[in-house]
Amino acid sequence: MLLPREQGPWNCGYYLGAMALKALCEAPEGKLDLPSLQERMGLLTKRAISPTQAVAAAAWLYLLDAVKLDETGAIKKCS
């Protein structure tokens, strides 16, 4: 759910997408593999991020053309 009312903001798609973008902005060359993205998102939020949450955030950003996959499969922030 993008904006759940019953849960805290750290579980919403907008927040997770923002944390994924922030993690990519801070990464060298603006790209990370999925496990590294999940780890950095967890550090930024100070909460455990599940693989499902990391994949959902990356997929949502991909659909928005905010990120793309490079030839190695790493997630790269679009300029």
Place of tokens 């996959």: 69
- Residue with the bigger pLDDT between 4 and 29: it is 29
Confidence of residue 7 (pLDDT cuts 50, 70, 90): low
At 55, the amino acid letter reads V
Confidence of residue 14 (pLDDT cuts 50, 70, 90): confident
Write down the domain spans for the chain: 18-65
Question: Dmax of the chain from CA atoms?
Answer: 39
What pLDDT shows up at residue 13?
A: 81
Point out the least confidently predicted range of 3-7, 9-13, 44-48.
3-7
Taking the C-alpha atoms of residue 29 and residue 77, their distance in angstroms, rounded to an integer, is 9
Q: What is the mean pLDDT of the chain?
A: 89
